[in-house]
Amino acid sequence: MKNILILLPILILVSCNKNAITGRNQLSLFPELTLQQQAFTEYHTFLNKNKVITAADNKNAEMVKRVGLRIQQAITSYYSKRGLSKQLEGYQWEFNLVNNNEINAWCMPGGKVVVYTGLLSVTQNETALAIVLGHEITHAVARHGNERISQAAVAQGIQVAGDIFTQNKEQANKLFNTIFVPSAQVAFLLPNSRKQEYEADHYGLIFAAMAGYDPREAINFWQRMSSQGTKLPEFLATHPSDENRIKQLQKYMNEALSFYKK
């Protein structure tokens, strides 16, 4: 038990890396290329199990690919100008629209992107779609996926250590699991997830602007999103409240507009 408690902080310390773009220290316990390979497998499994709408005969699918490629080119340029092209090593970009009424889109490590048809009822235009894809792709290039699973692994490690330490003390074990698990979520994992959301908003705006899309459409999009239903209180949610997100987007706007050329 003592060895576990000693090793955990050491492991956390040596596994923290400064993100090349955001400048923030991130916990990264797993090789990025390994995560990419796993993501590629999961991505193609997902596509095989869902109806993919091809760009050849659908204007929305063609739009998804067009917007995705423009965002990709903007990101490639942004990283290249800063001498950081190596950060995108292993990326195999792919953009697909799937038939699903859920309001959702995501990007896996390595540049594998999916947009659900249900999202298009809220984006309503190409520029808003670019805002969403800029946000989702930023999660991937900022290596938020690695950070999240690393944080979860550390939290799980602490829980296992606590269980071992209290295994012969029923009341102590019950108290530990009653307090630690929800506390880890509210005090550590959820705030870090919201921090990632703000970073994705920030750099997503920049990448969309660089791709030729007006970043001011982000405000309109999130106002539409805010009307989609009841949300959890922010401190219990992985995402910021829509109100706080919009306020923060407005703070990022002047910087994003400096990258925008019609």
Range of the domain at 92: 30-146+191-257
| 216 pLDDT above the threshold of 90 | yes
pLDDT at 159 > cutoff 90? no
Which residue type, as a one-letter code, is found at position 253?
M
Has residue 166 been placed in a domain?
no
Indicate whether 15 belongs to any domain: no
The residue-averaged pLDDT of 235-247 equals: 77
Report if residue 186 sits inside a domain.
no
In a domain, 216, yes or no: yes
Examine the pLDDT at 202 and tell me if it is beyond 80: yes
Answer yes or no: is 134 within a domain.
Answer: yes
Give the chain's mean pLDDT: 80
- List pLDDT tens digits, range 111-131: 999 999 999 999 999 999 999
Query: Is 74 a member of any domain?
Result: yes
Q: What is the pLDDT of residue 157?
A: 52
Task: Kindly report the pTM of this predicted structure.
Answer: 0.79
- Please count the structural domains in the chain: 1
Residue 35 forms part of a structural domain: yes
- CA angle at residue 96 from 242 to 201, to 5 degrees? 25
Q: Where in the sequence numbering do the catalytic residues fall?
A: 136
Q: Sorting pLDDT into bands at 50, 70 and 90, what band is 176?
A: very low
Q: Is residue 51 part of a domain?
A: yes
